[in-house]
Amino acid sequence: MAHIAAIGEVMVELSPFPVNDANGRDVMALSFAGDTYNTSVYMARLGLQTDYVTQLGDDPYSARILDAMKAENISTGFIKQLPGRSPGLYIIRNTPDGEREFFYWRKEAPARELFSNPDTTRELTEKLSKVNCVYLSGITLAIIGEEGRKALLQVLPQLREKGVQIAFDSNFRPRLWADRQQAQQAMRDILQFTDIALLTLDDEDLLWGDDSVEGCIERYKDVAIKELVLKRGASDTIIIQQGQQTRVPVPPVSNIVDTTGAGDTFNAGYLAGRLNGLSPVDAAKQGTRCAAAVIRHRGGVIDKAVFHKEIQG
Q: In a 3-state reduction of DSSP, which class is residue 94? A: strand
Please report whether residue 265 resides in a domain.
Answer: yes
Which residues have CB under 8 Å from 219's CB, separation 6+?
208, 210
Q: How many helices (H) and strands (E) does the chain have?
A: 10, 15
Please report whether residue 46 resides in a domain.
Answer: yes
Rounded CA-CA distance 56/160 in Å is: 27
- The pLDDT tens digits for 61-101 are 999 999 999 999 999 999 999 999 999 999 988 776 656 78
Please report whether residue 189 resides in a domain.
Answer: no
Residue 98: predicted pLDDT: 57
Rounded CA-CA distance 313/304 in Å is: 14
165 backbone dihedrals φ, ψ, rounded to 5°: -80, 150
Model confidence at 24, pLDDT cuts 50, 70, 90, reads confident
Rounded CA-CA distance 91/101 in Å is: 8
Classify the phi-psi angles of 187: left when phi > 0, otherwise alpha if psi is within -120 to 50, otherwise beta.
alpha
Please report whether residue 106 resides in a domain.
Answer: yes
Please report whether residue 117 resides in a domain.
Answer: yes
For the cut 90, the answer to whether the pLDDT of residue 270 exceeds it is yes
Please report whether residue 193 resides in a domain.
Answer: no
Residue 114: predicted pLDDT: 97
Range of the domain at 50: 3-175+255-312
Which residues have CB under 8 Å from 196's CB, separation 6+?
133, 165, 166, 167, 168, 225, 226, 227, 229, 270, 271, 274
pTM of structure: 0.95
Please report whether residue 187 resides in a domain.
Answer: no
Adjacent-strand bridge partners of 13: 31, 90
Number of structural domains found in the chain? 1
- The pLDDT tens digits for 95-139 are 766 567 889 999 999 999 999 999 999 999 999 999 999 999 999
Provide the pairing of β-strand 165-169 with 196-200.
parallel
Give the residue numbers annotated as catalytic, written as ranges.
264
Residue 244: predicted pLDDT: 92
Q: CA-CA distances (angstroms) from residue 121 to 107, 149, 158, 167, 197?
A: 21, 12, 12, 19, 24
- The pLDDT tens digits for 136-191 are 999 999 999 999 999 999 999 999 999 999 999 999 999 999 999 999 999 999 99
Please report whether residue 260 resides in a domain.
Answer: yes
- The enclosing domain of 85 has a CATH number of 3.40.1190.20
